[in-house]
Structure 1
Amino acid sequence: MRKLDDSSSSSNTFSCFRHSLLEILYLIGICLVLNVTYGSGFQPLIQLPSSGLSTNTSSRSKTVLLNIDDFGARGDGIADDTKILQDVWKVACSSSSPAKIIIPARNSYLVKPIDFPGPCLSNVTLRVSGILVAPQDPEVWDGLNVHKWLYFHGVKQLTIEGGGLIDGRGQKCPAHMLQRPLHSISARNLKVRNVTLVNSQQMHMAFTNCMHVAASGVTVIAPADSPNTDGIHISSTTHVELKNVVVGTGDDCISIVGYSSQIRIKNIVCGPGHGISIGSLGKNNTSAAVQDVIVDGAVLFNTENGVRIKTWQGGSGFARKITFQNILMHNVSNPIIIDQYYCDSPLPCLNQTSAVHIDSISFRNIKGTSETEGAIMFLCSDSCPCKRLNLENVELVWLSGIAKSVCWESYGTTTALISPPSCIPSDDKVIQNDNNSDSSTSLQKHDHASI
C-alpha cells in the first residue's frame, strides 16, 4: 500500500468570545450574500451537619432545589468545594422527586475531579449559573482519575444547563498535564443546554456510551494552539441531536468515533479548530462502526480542515451513510477530505492492507474559500476503495490560484455544479466487484469503558 504525498482568566475568555462573535456576524453576512440555505449501587448517603443541609421544594414543579451555598460551599474560587458538590449530588440522586442542583450566579467554585454516579431515583438537573473551575496545581490530581474532571456515569434522565461558565483552566497547566476532558458523560436520556465551557485540559465534552442525547446552545472556547482540545467528542453513542453550537478550539470542533450511529448535527459555527471529523477510526488495528450521521447547516472559518473522515491503516469496520450538507467555509484548509492514510504519530506509520470501509458519503451544498490548493481530497485505501461517494452543488475557490480535486481509489457520482471539477470516476465497477463482500460487513457494538 502506498502512502500519498500530495499537493487567562474567565474575563479574558469572554472578551475573546465577544471578538469571535463579531467574526461570526460577519460570516452570517457572507452566508446571506452567497445565499447558502441551511436545511433543514453507589455509597450510602453521608450524614451532613444539620446547619448545612437545606432543601427547598418547588410546590409548582415538585422539584427539590439544592443550592450548594446552603450546604456550606464557599464559592470564592480558592476554597475547595469538591466535597460539598459531592454531598449535594448524593442528596439529589437519592431523592424520589426530581432534583435540581444549583450553582448560583456571581460565585466561583473550585472543584477537584468528581464522579457523579448513578443510577438515581428520579430526574436530576445540574444548573450552572455561576462558575465551576478546575484546580491548577498538578499535585492536586495525584491519586485521582487523571482522565476525567467532571464524570457523570450510569445516570438516566440527566439535564445539564447553564448560563454560567465551566472553566477547565487548561491554559494554566503544564503541557504534560493536559490530558483530561472537562466533562465525560455516560448516560441515557441526557439533555445539555445553554452551557459554556472554556479552556479544557483536553476534550471539553465527551459523550461515551450514551443513548438519546439532546444538546443545544453549547459554546466551547479554547486557544487555537491548545492541543487535543476537541469541542464535543461523541464515542460509541447513539441517537444524538446536536444543534446551535459554537466551537472554537485547538482541535476538532466535533469528532465522532467508535460505534456511533443516528447522529444529527445542525447549525454549527466552527473556528478556529480542525473542523468537523468522523474519526480518527481504526488506530492500533482496532475496529469501528460509524453510520447514519447528518451534518446539516454549518459555518467553518479559519480551520485546518473542513468536513473530514480520517482512518488509520490496519483498522477494520466501516464509516457509512454520512452526509455533510448546507455548509459555508471561509479560509478553510482541506475543505472536503477523506484520508485513509491518517497518521498522527511522531514516527512513520506502517503500510497495511486492512482498512476501515468507507461507503455512501455525501457532500451537498458546500460553498466558500479554501486556504489550500486541494479543495477536495479523497485519499482512499488501495485494498478498500471508497464507494458511493456523492458530490452535489459544491463551489470551493482557492484565492491564490485554481483549486484542485485529488482522488485516489475513490468512486462515486457527481450532481449539479462541482468546482473544482470532480475527479471521482463512476463506482459501478467497484460496487459490482465488491457486492458479495459488502453484504457481510457488519459489526456489533461493544461495551467500551468511558474515556
Structure 2
Amino acid sequence: MKCLFAIRLLFVVSSACLCAIITPSLAFSVNVFDYGAKGDGQTDDSQAFLQAWEEVCNCGQVTPTLVIPYGTTFMLQPLKFLGPCKAATIIVKVEGTMMAPSNMEGWKWPNDDEKKEIWVQFSEISGLVIEGGGQIDAQGTPWWKYKGDKASYRPTALHFHRCENLTVTDLTHINSPKNHISINKCNGAYVSNLHIIAPEDSPNTDGIDISESTNIFVLNSTIETGDDCIAINSGTFFINISNVYCGPGHGISVGSLGKNGAYVEVEEIHVKNCTFNGTTNGARIKTWIGGSGFARKITFEDIILINTKNPVIINQQYEDHHSINENGNGEAVAVSDVIYRNITGTSACENAINLSCDLNIGCNGIVLENIEITPYSSGDEVYASCTKANGTSSSCSPILSCLSNSSKLP
C-alpha cells in the first residue's frame, strides 16, 4: 500500500476578488485489518502489526497513523517496533485491546531476542504518540509464580527505548508479568491519563519505571499495582510527577539505587499533588548499602495520605530479603537536598516519618515543612525517627526532634 495524501481545498471569497487558497491536510492512516489481522483474540496478529508498522514508519511526507480498531482484541507475540522512522511524528491509535498469549507456553520469542525480557518494545522512534483509549492486557497471572531471584524470568509489558519526544496517553494497562511500562534512555516524554491495574499481591508489577532519561512528565493517572506505582532509577534528571493516584502499591520511589556497588546519578525529581491510598510506602527514597553516586534535589509536595504505611521514608541502607548485596563496602549513595512539603493525612503505622540514613555519610539538606500526619486508627499514635539525618523541620506533626539542626517553628 502506498503512502496516500488527502488534499483539502479551501476557497475564500472576498468582495474584491476570488482567492483560491490551497491548504494541504495531509493524512495517512493504516488499519491493522488492512494487513490481515483478525482481531478475534485467538489468532496471532503479530505479523499484521509489524507489516502495518513498516508502512507507517516508512511514510515520511505526512503524519502517519497506525490504527488498532475499537471493539476488537488482538493477540500478539513479543514484538519490536523499530525506528528510526521517516516522519517527524507517528501516531499509534490503540482503540481496541492488545493482548499477550494467555499462558507462558504460548509465548513465541523472536529468534534474535536472547534476553526474552520485553513483550512490546518501541525503540529509537522520535515523535511517537500512543493514544486512543484502548487497553493493553499483558496476561501476567501465570508469570507471577516466579518471585525473588526468579523474577528475571518475567518480561516487562511495554518498553520505550531511545524514543525522543514521546507521548503516551489515554490507555488502560492491566496485569503485566513484571513492570507495566519502562522508559529507558528517552529525552522528553509526556505520559498522562493512564490507568494501570494489577492485583495488590502481584510481584514486581511496577506501574512506570524510569531510567537513564530526562525531561519526563507523568500526569493525571491512576496506578494500582503490586509494587511501586512509579520507580525512578539511575541516570534520571528533571522528572515531574503530578496528579497521580497511587494505591494499592508501594508508593512513588526514588530507587532502589546502588545495588551491587553501582554508581548512580539522580537529580531534579519533583512529585506534586499525589495521593497514596493504602500503599505500603508513600514518598520514598531507597538506596542500597555499598552503592555510590548521588540522589539530590528531590521534592515531594502537596501529598495526601490515606491509611498509608511508611508515609515519609528515606532508607539509605536498603536491603531486599530476596537478594544479597554483593558489595557491602562501607560506601553509600549520597542523598541530599530533599524537601517534603505540605503532606497531610493518615498513617497505617506508628513510625510515620522514618529517615534512616547511612551511618557513615548520613543524608543532608533534608527539609520538612507543613507536615500533618495522624494515625488511621483512633487511639493509635504516630512518631518520627531519624538516623544520621541532617536538616530542618517546621510545622510538623509528628515532631522531628531527632533531626540534626532541627528547628521547630510556630
TM-score, with structure 2 as normaliser:
0.88
1:180 aligned partner, one-letter code = P
**Of 207, 225, 233, which aligns to 1:231?**
207
Is the CA contact 1:353–1:382 (under 8 Å) kept in the aligned structure 2?
A: no
1:154 is matched with: 124
**Of 247, 267, 284, which aligns to 1:308?**
284
1:278 is matched with: 254
TM-score, with structure 1 as normaliser:
0.80
2:397 aligned partner, one-letter code = S
Shift of 1:71: 1.5
1:112 is matched with: 77
Note if 1:102 corresponds to 2:67: yes
Shift of 1:54: 7.8
1:337 is matched with: 313
Please list every run of 5 or more consecutive structure 1 residues that lacks an aligned counterpart in the other structure: 1-52, 429-451
1:24 is matched with: none
Cα distance per residue 1:15-66 (max 9 Å; x no partner) = xxxxxxxxxxxxxxxxxxxxxxxxxxxxxxxxxxxxxx58765546412101
Note if 1:258 corresponds to 2:237: no
Superposed CA RMSD in Å reads 1.8
Shift of 1:242: 1.2
2:372 is matched with: 395
C-alpha distance 379-58 of structure 1, shift in aligned 2 (>3 A) = farther
Note if 1:141 corresponds to 2:111: no
2:391 aligned partner, one-letter code = G
Q: Indicate the larger mover: 222-231 or 138-147.
A: 138-147
User: How far apart, CA to CA, are the structure 2 residues paired with 1:260 and 1:351?
Assistant: 24
User: How far apart, CA to CA, are the structure 2 residues paired with 1:351 and 1:148?
Assistant: 31
1:379 is matched with: 356
Note if 1:426 corresponds to 2:410: no
2:95 is matched with: 129
1:409 is matched with: 388
1:74 aligned partner, one-letter code = K
User: How far apart, CA to CA, are the structure 2 residues paired with 1:302 and 1:103?
Assistant: 35
Q: Indicate the larger mover: 182-191 or 137-146.
A: 137-146
C-alpha distance 54-120 of structure 1, shift in aligned 2 (>3 A) = closer
Q: Indicate the larger mover: 223-232 or 59-68.
A: 59-68
1:193 is matched with: 169
Is the CA contact 1:162–1:196 (under 8 Å) kept in the aligned structure 2?
A: no
Cα distance per residue 1:273-294 (max 9 Å; x no partner) = 0000000000011111111011
C-alpha distance 247-174 of structure 1, shift in aligned 2 (>3 A) = closer
* Larger relative helix fraction: 1
1:71 aligned partner, one-letter code = Y
Q: SS of 1:224's equivalent?
A: coil
Please list every run of 5 or more consecutive structure 2 residues that lacks an aligned counterpart in the other structure: 9-24
Note if 1:297 corresponds to 2:263: no
Instruction: Determine what percentage of the aligned residue pairs are the same residue.
Output: 37
C-alpha distance 140-56 of structure 1, shift in aligned 2 (>3 A) = farther
Shift of 1:181: 1.1
1:92 is matched with: 56
2:36 is matched with: 72
* Larger relative strand fraction: 2
Cα distance per residue 1:178-229 (max 9 Å; x no partner) = 6111110011010111111001111111000000001111110111000000
Is the CA contact 1:56–1:66 (under 8 Å) kept in the aligned structure 2?
A: no
User: How far apart, CA to CA, are the structure 1 residues paired with 2:98 and 2:316?
Assistant: 40
User: How far apart, CA to CA, are the structure 2 residues paired with 1:347 and 1:197?
Assistant: 29
Is the CA contact 1:57–1:65 (under 8 Å) kept in the aligned structure 2?
A: no
